[in-house]
């Protein structure tokens, strides 16, 4: 009988130890759940990364978020906002001119001088395909011209509280277009309030008629063509000074998130970083009540 009691006591101790260990593990897990993910937990090739909860503003992942860097064609989100805020007639046709050609980087475009497209089509190509001549033409034909347009971009940035942001041109080809991840999260949130930007920036592809030819364009963010991603807004960017950049408003693990990735090295590294972030978030959401 005494032997049975001693066995029972040992079992009770084991059960008690396991219970205490489980409680401690849960306590530590919940304590860490509210902390931002450190870059070491998710191997990223982007120099700057930020993931925020779109509803609460909670920072979920942060890496060099105060760095002020060139942002390349992420610029075009502000270009679209300025056009839409002005209430200009989107059906009006605009002719691409030699003034719209890229004198900074010498980038090519299939929109030849003489091409006539509506402002609406130019807006679509700017956001979806990151068409530089389309963005340049939108700014050039803005009331007051490109100079006034860029000044309006900067004024809008100030109004949105984007203290780290400066714009020098409407395309993003200038390395003087700079911002921080925190500011770009504000820009994404503001842009998401425009149905046209949400629609055009996430279109998979589009066609336009140019000088008696049909031209096909695809979204520069291949993730919009993936059924596994729920993307509400997207914009890519690249110039050599900025590296590969990507901003998105996405739904991951039942949460609406803002994702900012800047200065990513390698052609596909920003896409790889986005996939790594999503996998980490989904894995940890499945393991606990919060990300």
Active site residues: 73, 76, 130
**Residue 208: Cβ within 10 Å count:** 21
- Rounded Cα–Cα distance for residues 90 and 50 (Å): 33
- Rounded Cα–Cα distance for residues 90 and 149 (Å): 16
- Rounded Cα–Cα distance for residues 46 and 281 (Å): 17
The alpha helices in 34-116, defined as continuous H runs, are 75-86
Q: What is the CA radius of gyration of the chain?
A: 24
- Give the position of tokens 């049909």: 214
User: Residues of 228-249 as b/e, b for ≥16 C-beta within 10 angstroms?
Assistant: ebebbbbbbbbbebbbbbbbbb
Query: Tell me, what DSSP letter sits at residue 264?
Result: E
Those residues with Cβ within 8 angstroms of residue 14's Cβ, 6 or more apart along the chain or in another chain: none
With residue 162 as reference, give the H or E element that holds it.
none
Give the three-class secondary structure for 69: strand
Those residues with Cβ within 8 angstroms of residue 239's Cβ, 6 or more apart along the chain or in another chain: 70, 72, 105, 172, 173, 175
- Rounded Cα–Cα distance for residues 48 and 179 (Å): 11
């Amino acid at each position: 009988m005494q032997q049975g009691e001693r066995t029972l006591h040992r079992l009770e101790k084991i059960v008690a130890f396991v219970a205490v260990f489980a409680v401690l593990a849960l306590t530590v897990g919940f304590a860490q759940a509210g902390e931002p993910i450190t870059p070491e937990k998710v191997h990223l090739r982007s120099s700057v990364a930020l993931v925020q909860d779109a509803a609460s503003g909670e920072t979920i992942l942060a890496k060099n978020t105060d760095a002020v860097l060139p942002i390349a064609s992420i610029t075009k989100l502000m270009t679209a906002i300025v056009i839409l805020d002005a209430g200009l007639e989107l059906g009006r046709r605009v002719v691409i001119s030699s003034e719209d050609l890229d004198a900074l980087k010498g980038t090519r475009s299939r929109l030849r001088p003489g091409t006539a497209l509506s402002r609406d089509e130019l807006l679509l190509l700017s956001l979806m395909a990151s068409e530089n001549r389309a963005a340049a033409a939108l700014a050039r034909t803005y009331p007051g011209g490109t100079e006034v347009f860029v000044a309006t971009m900067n004024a809008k940035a100030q109004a949105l509280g984007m203290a780290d942001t400066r714009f020098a041109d409407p395309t993003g080809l200038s390395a003087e277009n700079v911002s921080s991840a925190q500011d770009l999260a504000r820009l994404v949130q503001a842009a998401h309030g425009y149905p046209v930007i949400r629609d055009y920036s996430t279109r998979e592809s589009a066609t336009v008629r140019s000088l008696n030819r049909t031209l096909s364009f695809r979204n520069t963010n291949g993730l919009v063509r993936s059924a596994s991603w729920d993307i509400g807004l997207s914009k890519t960017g690249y110039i050599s000074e900025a590296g590969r950049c990507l901003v998105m408003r996405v739904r991951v693990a039942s949460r609406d998130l803002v994702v900012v990735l800047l200065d990513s090295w390698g052609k596909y590294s920003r896409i790889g970083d986005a996939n790594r972030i999503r996998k980490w978030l989904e894995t940890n959401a499945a393991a606990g009540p919060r990300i």
